[in-house]
Amino acid sequence: MFSYLRQRFTSHLRERSRRRARLVSKDGRCNIEFGNVEQSRFVFLIDIWTTILDLRWRYKMTIFISAFLGSWFLFGLLWYVVAYIHKDLPEFNPSINHTPCVENINGLTSAFLFSLETQVTIGYGFRCVTEQCATAIFLLIFQSILGVIINSFMCGAILAKISRSKNRAKTITFSKNAVISKRGGKLCLLIRVANLRKSLLIGSHIYGKLLKTTITPEGETIILDQVNIEFVVDAGNENLFFISPLTIYHIIDKNSPFFHMAAETLLQQDFELVVFLDGTVEATSATCQVRTSYIPEEVLWGYRFAPIVSKTKEGKYRVDFQNFSKTVAVETPHCAFCLYNEKEAKAKEKKGYDNPGFVLSEVSETSDTKM
């Protein structure tokens, strides 16, 4: 009994680990880790713009707040040093006729407030630079220029992060499962994709990659070997009119890597089907790519998708997303090889064969009966 439970538990863990072992998640994120990278991380600082854009929001906001607070405090210290050197602080007991570099700086706190007012151009008018110190004038110019640069860079990075086409990709959804059934007399692998916005993706193009482990004739093992998978719709796979959900399909013919698979052996296969949708966002003209993947457990053999588009009495077309990933069992050959053999057998039955050496001779009938 104990060995049986241990075997079930081991098989469950193996199945669970297999389900998690995928390169691309359902929402398009890549599950890959780089190790022993010899190149210095300094190269990421050279391309600081892309590095900032790729950061998560919590890190980006931390850098945003730290950049402003750090610059305000740093220049506050510099303003305090200027006031200290020029002996403008109250502890030096300046005379009545003494003209300070900056009016009304009495300590570090007031120096920080003046730095804040200068960099963000608040201009309360209580503290201001005088003509007494050239150092103060130079520091005012330098802080104003640096403040504009920091403000432009950080605000531009946040705006670019918000407007990235990656967010547009979240409104493109794929069906939870892929199905295999007959379509147009051919065995096909079908996937449903929908655009949740009414704005179109211009110049959309759909294609796929089958990732699997292969062994070459030379004995080399290639992990994540990529095989092209062509997906089409009835109008082609380019420049799609992507206003309503589409069912894309891959024809399983003799050139397809799914040709030698069967319904009984599908779950025993080790592959990952990654589907890509490229397009241009209509509003921003930015390119957008949507990705998803399917493992053997997510490919249903002998099913088709339920209807999703209907027409109302008012003449409008209605899309019911409740049936978006719903599947219906249909009669399907258990392998593509059997379907093609069946077609060839039926085609041979209809064929006739002529014998060129056959000659039809007419025989005259004679009657031996005389009247």
Kindly report, residue by residue over 270-318, the tens digit of the pLDDT: 889 999 988 888 777 788 888 999 999 999 999 999 988 888 888 888 8
pLDDT tens sequence across 32-67: 777 766 666 677 777 888 888 888 889 989 999 999
Model pLDDT, residue 268: 86
Stretches where the chain sits below pLDDT 50 are 17-18, 370-371
CB 79 within 8 A of CB 180: no
Give CA–CA dist 130/169, Å, rounded. 55
**Rounded CA gap, 203 and 190, in Å?**
21
- Is the Cβ–Cβ distance between 238 and 205 less than 8 Å? yes
Nearest CA to 187 out of 118, 130, 266, 110 is that of 266
- Tokens 């449903």, residue located: 192
Give the integer Cα–Cα distance in Å for 247 and 258.
19
Rg (CA), the chain: 37
CATH of domain 167-347: 2.60.40.1400
Decide: 126 and 109 in contact? Cβ < 8 Å. Answer: no
DSSP3 helix / strand / coil % (the chain, rounded to 5): 35, 25, 40
CATH 1.10.287.70 positions along the chain are 48-163
How many residues are recorded in the chain?
A: 371
Cα(44)–Cα(46) distance, integer angstroms: 5
CATH 2.60.40.1400-classified regions of the chain: 167-347
CATH classification code of 48-163:
1.10.287.70
Residue matched to tokens 């490229």: 278
Measured CA to CA, the distance from residue 297 to residue 331 in angstroms comes to 20
